[in-house]
Amino acid sequence: MDDTKQQIRQMVAELIPNGRKPSLQDDTTLRSSGILDSMAVLRLVSMVEEKFGIEVSAYEAGIDNFDRVEDMAAYVERKLSARVGRGSGA
């Protein structure tokens, strides 16, 4: 999961305006603190889908899964595990 977190941190860093580079920790709130606005979150969701080959539904893109790096990484890992689980049982 550390690799997933690192990749997500890099994506988030790309979306933060140059003058506002906060110290980004895994538990830093991004949406609720205003670090990322709604347009940046939409772009982040798109980047996560593309990078990890997953589909994020509208209800999954909420603050529970897309506010902190650790939440996003856990969400991605769950999606990847579910995809692997479905593929191996058929």
The answer to the question of residue 18 being in a domain is: no
Residue 55 lies in a domain: yes
Give the integer Cα–Cα distance in Å for 53 and 76.
10
**Residue 38 neighbours by CB under 8 Å, 6+ apart:** none
- The set of residues, in sequence order, having a beta carbon less than 8 Å from that of 7 and lying 6+ positions away, is 51
Looking at the chain, the whole-number percentage of residues with pLDDT higher than 70 is 88
Q: Does some domain include residue 19?
A: no
Task: Name the residue range of residue 44's domain.
Answer: 2-13+28-85
Report the pLDDT value the prediction gives residue 59, as an integer from 0 to 100.
94
Output the pTM of the full model. 0.86
Is 23 a domain residue?
A: no
Kindly state the average pLDDT of the residues 66-89: 87
- CATH number of the domain enclosing 37: 1.10.1200.10
User: Could you give the number of structural domains in the chain?
Assistant: 1
Over the stretch 51-72, which tens digit does the pLDDT of each residue have?
A: 999 999 999 999 999 999 999 9
What is the pLDDT at residue 75?
97
